[in-house]
Amino acid sequence: MNKPTLAVLAPRNIELGPLAGVTTAGPWKHWRMARDADGIAWLVIDREGKSANTLSDEVFAELAGVLDVLEREPPKGLVLRSAKRSGFVAGADINMFVGEGAARLSEILTQGHAILDRLDRLPVPTVAVIHGYCLGGGLELALACDYRIAVDDARLGFPEVTLGLHPGLGGTVRLTRLINPVEAMTAMLTGRTLHARRAKSLGLVDATIPERHVRNAACAAIEKQLRTNRAGLTVSLFNSGLARGFLAGRMRKEAAKKAPPAHYPAPYALIELWEKHGGNAGAMQRAEIESFGRMVTTPTAQNLVRVFFLREKLKSFAGRRWTGSRVHVIGAGAMGGDIAAWCAWKGLHVTLADMKPEPLGGAVKRAADLFKKVSQKSAEVRDALDRLTPDLKGEGVRSADLVIEAVPEILDLKKKVYAAAEAAMKPDAILATNTSSIPLEQLREGLQRPERFLGLHFFNPVSRLQLVEIVSHDRTAPEVVAASNAFLGTIDRLPAPVKSEPGFLVNRALMPYLMEALLMLDQGVKKETIDRAAEDFGMPMGPIELADQVGLDICLHVAEVLRAQLPRPMPDAPQWLRDKVAKGELGRKTGKGLYDWKDGRAVKAADAPAPAPDAQDRLVLPMVDVCVACLREKIVADEEVIDASMIFATGFAPFRGGPMHYARQRGLADVKATLERLAAQYGERFRPDPGWSDLT
């Protein structure tokens, strides 16, 4: 079978100068260097045994050796690039910093700075050629070069802030002196990636070219023939003391909107760093080292780094790439339509079926809006829309590798859908349900091949919430679970394996959070106050707003189902909630629910009173308690999966590391005792689960 033509030729489309086809050149494991016929040294980073380049202390140590050679015999110029297909350099190994004491940390950073300074000061023109991702330490490496050339697909950025840190290898200094400091600070404060074209317009890179022009462009840079677009005047202007003072205040205000200083110290440390030292490179460099060292030891950074590893852990469940390519989604409602759109965006061929054409029209529109938001290129949007086929007659089920059912939560309806699907599906295809409240044991009754049936529970909105609960029942075949995990990995979602029990993990944990909020509302607490209590804790959204966002009808339904199926005492849904749902006041989607909604935002009163001191505990601790119960009932394998699931499906205060980690940090005994106290004061619903005694 002949391979597609471009796939055969693609491997030769990476310009490595004299190092093309060479596997070692020099005494180093992770670097190769050779000079070409024009006397230009080509230095390639290719981390041994890894599919992506990250900077480890060994990589740095070897770089020092490389610089020894370059300083001894300076070439005409230096071209630095990565040999990995996936990209330039993804950053510094987090393990280099995590767990080190302050003194050792300062040493490591100072050494790192020294090496990059040597690269910066090389008396020859140096050019970094960047393809794919160039993040964090990788960008700092590129900034130490005189020129940067981006291949069309390059993405540059400083994501350190998402780990509770800021750049620590000179990035804060070099970036604010290369491009408009306001743009530099914005990039570092948001952690957002810049595409090649944007990077060029800022002057962060000096050219954007397709791979086939790399050699010529690099040589032109070395010959000083490249036309650059450096920021120049804006840099000195905005780095002046007066400007910094004024701008820093504005930056603090902006940052506070998304990241309150009490929970996220890093953005403010970065702003202060620039405000105080932005006029003096040497002082700023020293201060950066000190500030970074401080940030690494903050609980926020430690917890966010933990979250990073939790994400990696869930990603690893995905395993190998999925062998399938076609997905059939049945039900074009809010969930089905979004699942279909996301799968199409990620390159799969999707057929979306519904009994009526109108939901399909709505799903296509939402898909088009999503694609246009996440893509810069109209061809990408077109291709993604081409992969999403509205399928009124459900014909796609015949060729699908995976069938996802996302119809309303009515048992008979779902069973009818399964019967029809199974009759037409490929025998080795997988049948999955997005159900949130009907037990799989009921749904699988009557199936011909129950071993190929499982739950894939997505969260809304699918494009933003990465977590998917992957629900097995006791007859699900292991290879079906493995294939489903692989599918989730292919669409860049995070699988959380859970057992088939009511509410699985996330909905079950959210229920007491939402119910308690409604109870507090009944008791006369203002909704803004309730939400404030949760936001002060670090939840991205308070429970009242969340209920409106999800939809009061859905909340009510899930609450009733869980109350019926779970042994734990839970307060009944209040009558006024039922009345509201009956009246059609469902929340954000109808413009009115518990809040009034305008332009997609809840209208909140500004003068609500501060929350009571125990409000946070009343809302958050029952969530933690449910997590403990789920652990005890073996619904989830371990605490790490619980923390990851809650963070990636609900946005549970990530800087706290997740509910279980929070409980441990606070003290298990303290949490348990608090729950007992709340039970005595407010009711049995707070009684701690027996599982607390099993926790060590």
- CA–CA gap between residue 679 and residue 544 (Å, rounded): 22
| 361 or 609: CB nearest other proteins | 361
Identify the H or E element spanning 398: none
Contact with other proteins (CB under 8 A) among 392, 411, 420, 680 = 392
DSSP 418-478: HHHHHHHS-TT-EEEE--SSS-HHHHTTT-S-GGGEEEEEE-SSTTT--EEEEEE-TT--H
| 201 Cβ contact list (under 8 Å, min separation 6) | 229
Q: Which stretch binds other proteins (CB under 8 A): 223-231, 292-300, 391-399, 655-663?
A: 391-399
Q: Is residue 386 at the binding interface for other proteins, with CB under 8 A as the rule?
A: yes
Contact with other proteins (CB under 8 A) among 16, 360, 621, 623 = 360
Residues 121 to 160 in contact with other proteins, rule: CB under 8 A: none
In terms of Cα–Cα distance, which of 47, 133, 44 is closest to 86?
A: 133
Question: 5 pairs with which residues across the strands?
Answer: none
| 6 or 233: CB nearest other proteins | 6
User: Min. distance of Cβ 390 from other proteins in angstroms?
Assistant: 5
Q: Is residue 391 at the binding interface for other proteins, with CB under 8 A as the rule?
A: yes
Q: Is residue 387 at the binding interface for other proteins, with CB under 8 A as the rule?
A: yes
| 127 or 343: CB nearest other proteins | 343
- CA–CA gap between residue 573 and residue 570 (Å, rounded): 9
User: Min. distance of Cβ 8 from other proteins in angstroms?
Assistant: 12
In terms of Cα–Cα distance, which of 66, 52, 211, 215 is closest to 134?
A: 52
Q: Is residue 399 at the binding interface for other proteins, with CB under 8 A as the rule?
A: yes
Marked catalytic residue, from 213, 457, 473, 661: 457
Identify the H or E element spanning 547: helix 543-550
* Total of chain residues touching other proteins, rule CB under 8 A: 27
In the chain, the amino acid numbered 475 is R
- CA–CA gap between residue 150 and residue 353 (Å, rounded): 42
| 268 or 345: CB nearest other proteins | 345
CB 655 within 8 A of CB 541: no
Q: Is residue 362 at the binding interface for other proteins, with CB under 8 A as the rule?
A: yes
Q: Is residue 351 at the binding interface for other proteins, with CB under 8 A as the rule?
A: yes
Contact with other proteins (CB under 8 A) among 1, 5, 11, 377 = 5
Q: Is residue 370 at the binding interface for other proteins, with CB under 8 A as the rule?
A: no
CB 314 within 8 A of CB 644: yes
In terms of Cα–Cα distance, which of 585, 511, 516 is closest to 548?
A: 585
Q: Which stretch binds other proteins (CB under 8 A): 240-248, 365-373, 402-410, 493-501?
A: 365-373
- CA–CA gap between residue 357 and residue 58 (Å, rounded): 59
User: Min. distance of Cβ 377 from other proteins in angstroms?
Assistant: 15
352 SS3 class = strand
DSSP 185-223: HHHHHH---EEHHHHHHHTSSSEEE-GGGHHHHHHHHHT
CB 260 within 8 A of CB 653: no
- CA–CA gap between residue 584 and residue 367 (Å, rounded): 26
| 27 or 357: CB nearest other proteins | 357
Question: 262 pairs with which residues across the strands?
Answer: none
Say which residue the tokens 């939790």 belong to.
310
82 SS3 class = strand
Contact string 6-35 vs other proteins (x = CB under 8 A) = x-----------------------------
Q: Is residue 413 at the binding interface for other proteins, with CB under 8 A as the rule?
A: no
Contact with other proteins (CB under 8 A) among 193, 303, 389, 434 = 389
Q: Which stretch binds other proteins (CB under 8 A): 165-173, 263-271, 388-396, 412-420?
A: 388-396
Q: Is residue 361 at the binding interface for other proteins, with CB under 8 A as the rule?
A: yes
Does the active-site annotation cover 457?
yes
CB atoms closer than 10 angstroms to residue 460: 16
User: Min. distance of Cβ 4 from other proteins in angstroms?
Assistant: 6
CB atoms closer than 10 angstroms to residue 193: 18
Q: Is residue 395 at the binding interface for other proteins, with CB under 8 A as the rule?
A: yes
| 178 or 385: CB nearest other proteins | 385
Q: Which stretch binds other proteins (CB under 8 A): 2-10, 112-120, 163-171, 231-239?
A: 2-10
In terms of Cα–Cα distance, which of 347, 354, 446 is closest to 397?
A: 354
User: Min. distance of Cβ 362 from other proteins in angstroms?
Assistant: 6
Q: Is residue 358 at the binding interface for other proteins, with CB under 8 A as the rule?
A: yes
User: Min. distance of Cβ 670 from other proteins in angstroms?
Assistant: 52
Q: Which two tokens stand for residue 136?
A: 């964090």
Contact with other proteins (CB under 8 A) among 349, 457, 532, 618 = 349
User: Min. distance of Cβ 569 from other proteins in angstroms?
Assistant: 45
Q: Is residue 368 at the binding interface for other proteins, with CB under 8 A as the rule?
A: yes
In this structure, the dihedral spanned by the alpha carbons of residues 291, 259, 669 and 101, taken in order and rounded to 10 degrees, is -10
Contact with other proteins (CB under 8 A) among 87, 125, 396, 551 = 396
Which residues are known catalytic residues? 457
Query: What is the binding site for other proteins (CB under 8 A)?
Result: 4-6, 349, 351, 357-358, 360-362, 364-366, 368, 382-383, 385-387, 389-392, 395-396, 398-399
